[in-house]
Amino acid sequence: MRLDYLTIFPGFFAPLELSLPGKAADKGLLAFGVHDLRTWTHDRHRTVDDTPYGGGAGMVMRPEPWGEAFDELVRAGSTGAERTTIVFTTPSGEPFDQRLAEELATREHLLFACGRYEGIDQRVIDHARGVAEVREVSLGDYVLNGGEVAALAITEAVVRLLPGFMGNAASLVEESHAAGGLLEYPVYTKPPQWRGHEVPAVLRSGDHGRIAAWRHDQAVRRTAERRPDLLTPSVLDDGTPIVRAT
Ligand code: 6GU
């Protein structure tokens, strides 16, 4: 997989070198490039934004530098597999989740386009749809100043799914938000007593059936408490949507 980042804050991506994607790059699973959007400006002040048509607060990112950057960075491969997926990080995108991480992990080339939160001229997104697959992705219902931290979070979720990256494939299957749809059960290690807190006896019983049942029960309780939405079916078994009155 190749990962490119287009940003006016390239410094945000320094952690890529040290952490998880850095290790994946060392293993040859991954290559990445960080690009300053201002590289594709031509005026003395390297301008990337301007006032919004129609008025309103804040600035909007001008289209020209994005267009020229895409001309250089998008791979216009003829086969689907080598085609670029441009990920625009924006609070008005589709919510990022494990399912989307798994989908992005199948792509050959991700190009993250990190805008400031006031937004990028809509024509950039419209144009991008003509030259690449486009996903507009949000981390959740809160506002960040720019899409850089979101791009890093998405990167970490995607890269750890690449075949050959994780040491232990089983931990990928068991963890929260994977197939089961429950949050993870609590985990314990040595020592058996610590500051008056004990490891639950069942985990030291050696009874694997009881341990599995206890863990499942804990996962259900935790999910009911913290994420009841995950336990509430939204479709019937035959796929019919359940619509609730609000
Ligand atoms: Cl992807 N970008 C920005 N600017 N804010 C966000 C976000 C993304 N996701 C949640 N808030």
Q: Which tens digits make up the pLDDT trace of 179-212? A: 558 999 999 999 999 999 999 999 999 999 999 9
For residue 196, how many C-alpha atoms fall within 13 Å in the half-sphere facing its CB?
0
* CATH classification at residue 210: 1.10.1270.20
Q: Same domain, yes or no, for 135 and 222?
A: no
Residue 79 and residue 147: Cα distance in Å, rounded? 29
Ligand 1 site residues, Cβ closer than 6 angstroms: 89-91, 117, 137-140, 142-144, 146-147, 150
**pLDDT one-digit tens code per residue, 214-224:** 999 999 999 99
Residue 87 lies in a domain: yes
Residue 81 has pLDDT above 90, yes or no: no
> By residue range, what is the domain housing residue 16?
2-159
For the CA of 117, the nearest atom of ligand 1: 4
Residue 55: pLDDT band with limits 50, 70, 90: very high
143 token code pair: 């506002």
Of ligand 1's atoms, which has the minimum distance to the CA of residue 93? 1
What is the per-residue pLDDT for 45? 98
Arithmetic mean of pLDDT, 60-83: 89
| Residue 171 belongs to a domain | no
Is 68 inside a domain boundary? yes
115 is in an annotated binding site: yes
Q: What are residue 154's phi and psi, to 5 degrees?
A: -65, -40
Q: What is the pTM of this model?
A: 0.91
- Identify the band that residue 234 occupies on the pLDDT scale cut at 50, 70 and 90: confident
pLDDT given for residue 96 in this prediction? 98
